[in-house]
Amino acid sequence: MNTETPVALITGAGRRIGAAMAKALHAEGYRILVHYRQSANDAETLVAALNSERPDSAHTLCADLADMTAVKTLAQQAQDHWGRLDVLINNASSFYPTLVGDITEEHWQDLFASNAQAPLFLSQALAPALKQQHGCIINIADIHARRPLKGYTTYCMAKAANTMLTQSLARELAPEVRVNSIAPGAILWPENDAEVDDSTKQQMLDEIPLQRTGTEADIARTAVFLIQQADYITGQIIAVDGGRSLK
C-alpha cells in the first residue's frame, strides 16, 4: 500500500459505533488506526478482519485517554505508523449517570477526560499532520449537550464542552482542517452502569418522531459524508436522532 492512501484514527473503535465507522471508512479505501482502552479482543478481531480484506490496512493502538502522557504517545504513534493522518474521529466516551448529591471528583475527571479533555489535546497534537493533508476532525457529541438528560449532569456538561470544542476548533484550524460533530440520539441502548429498563426504553421511543432507534450504520454513513462529501461544511453539529431533539 503506497503512502498516498489516506489514514483515519478513530478512538474507542473496537466495538459499537466506533467499529462501524472503522468498517465504513475502510470500505472507502482508508487505512484505519483502531484505538482502544480495554476492548483489546474486540479491537484485535476487527483489525484482523480488516487486514484480511486488505493487507496492512488496519492497526491497533492502546491508550488510556484519561492519562495525558498516554494521549501524547497515542498522537505520536498515530502520526508515525503510516507517516500521515487525514482524519481524526474522537469517538471514545464514558457514559453513566451522576446524581446530584453523589457526584465525585472522580466522576468529573473521568467524564471530562474522555468527552472533552482527550478530544482537545489529541486534536491539538494532530493538527499539524491534519493540516498537511487538508484533513478533518469529527467529534462524537450528543443531543443532550443542549437538552439535558436527568441524572446525567456531569456527562451533559462534558458533552456541552465537546460541542463548543467543535465550534472553536473549526475557527482555529480553518481553512486547512474542517471540524464537525455528529450528535447521536437513541442509536444503541446503554450498557453496564448506564443500562435502562424496558419502560424507560419505551418512553424514549415515544419521544422519537420516527418511532424507532437508529443504527451504528446511520452514524457511520454520516461520518463518511462529512469526510468525503462535505468540503464546505465546518463547525456544525449534525443530529442523527430520528427527530428526537425537535421535542
pLDDT, tens digit, 9 for 90 and up, residues 84-124: 999 999 999 999 999 999 999 999 999 999 999 999 999 99
Confidence of residue 212 (pLDDT cuts 50, 70, 90): confident
Domains recognised in the chain with CATH numbers: 7-240 (3.40.50.720)
133 in Cβ contact with 178 (< 8 Å)? no
* pLDDT greater than 90 at residue 127: yes
Q: Is the pTM of this model over 0.75?
A: yes
pLDDT of residue 200: 67
Query: Which listed residue (30, 36, 152, 155) is catalytic?
Result: 155
pLDDT of residue 195: 57
pLDDT of residue 186: 78
3-state secondary structure of 244: helix
- Strands of 58-62's sheet, edge to edge? 58-62, 31-36, 7-10, 87-90, 136-140, 178-184, 237-240
**What is the average pLDDT score of the chain?**
93
Distance CA 28, CA 162 (A): 27
Mean pLDDT across the stretch 166-190? Answer: 91
For the stretch 128-164, pLDDT in tens is: 999 999 999 999 999 889 888 899 999 999 999 999 9
135 in Cβ contact with 227 (< 8 Å)? no
Catalytic (active site) residue 36: no
- Write out the three cell numbers for 162: 465537546
Segment (H or E) for 119: helix 118-132
